Amino acid sequence: MSPRNNSLTKCRSIIALVAFVVMAASGLLVGSPASAAGKKTKIDTPTINCGATTAASISITVCAASGTGATGLPAGFSLQWMTCAAFEANGNQWLSSDDPGLCKASFSGNANLSRYNLAPGECVTVNVGDFLFDEGASTNCPDSLVCGTCYVFRAFWHATSALNRSDFTGNRQCTTLNCNDVGGCTFTQGYWKTHGPVGCNPSGGANVWPADVQTNGLTIGSVVYTADQLCSILNTPAAGNGLLVLAHQLIAAKINIANGSDPTDAALCIASADALIGGLVIPPVGGGSLSAASTSSLTSCLTNYNEGATGPGHCTQ
């Protein structure tokens, strides 16, 4: 090979090498940052909306973000709330997380049989003021909400091993139905669970269950339960058992009626609930069970009666 050709070959090799280095550098400088910028580091921010309300509770529907690449809510979420008046008095700011005046509830998506592990675009509804304490749910504010009162809510989605927790949602205001102090008003199952015999009276106050219920108990389905047994049922978490969920509302409805509430709007639902339960013995007294799907409509009907959405209205507590 002539010296001239040899030099030309070397020159071409050098040019090719330089071109390769430039292309590689271009990939590092342009391609890598784009990939890093597109990588998610936290759960997508969810949405919350007001649902059905009664004088004692507000349903909040929470939804995971949807769309291509959405994270879903594999670990569940947390909900916070204050009265609108307290929020305004605090300068339209949320109380700190460790302030006992801030109400909080956690809904774990990791618990066994949890319904709070949501795929992208899925939603779940929780009833603040009359919580269904199923698998994964806990709160520092289990009591009923105040009738005729505005509340402000926000939520965030829990972190996973791969992603940080989401940002808070925007604030959402919802209001309970007005109070009704006309004679014959109703109380919630949560009220009767905390104003009854020993075991259902954490404050140590008077037992205000109707005298007939204290003495003779109630018939639920076709089984008679003493006042103490009724109390034990009210204190037993549902844990996915539709029989317990229904029994909590049925017991409350029957105590309300024994206390003087007009039974008209609840009569058909009470009769249907008793027929469905029949001879099943409710936990912890027995081991009866029903699917949540088979009891949900009757549970809703009785909840509406106890919380004042139907019937004579909810009492001011």
Does 94 map to a domain? yes
Strands, E, within 42-160: which ranges? 47-53, 58-63, 76-83, 103-108, 123-128, 137-139, 150-157
Query: 282 and 204, same structural domain?
Result: yes
Whether residue 111 lies inside any domain: the answer is: yes
Q: pLDDT 10s digit of each residue in the chain, 317 long?
A: 555 455 545 545 554 544 444 444 444 434 434 334 457 788 999 999 999 888 888 999 999 989 888 888 889 999 999 999 999 999 999 999 999 999 999 999 887 778 898 999 999 999 898 777 667 788 999 888 888 899 999 999 999 988 999 999 999 999 998 876 666 889 999 899 999 999 998 888 889 999 999 999 999 999 999 999 999 999 998 888 999 999 999 999 999 999 999 999 999 999 999 999 999 999 999 999 999 899 999 999 999 999 888 998 888 76
- Whether 67 and 112 share a structural domain: yes
Please state the pTM of the whole predicted model: 0.67
Separation in Å, CA 66 to CA 47, 71, 108, 120, 157: 10, 8, 20, 5, 14
The answer to the question of residue 13 being in a domain is no
> Are residues 159 and 244 both part of a single domain?
no
Assess if residue 156 is contained within a domain: yes
Asked whether residue 56 is domain-assigned, the answer is: yes
In a domain, 201, yes or no: yes
Spatial CA neighbour of 132 closest among 55, 51, 59, 225? 59
- Domain boundary among the residues 152, 175, 198 is at 175
Overall number of domains in the chain: 2
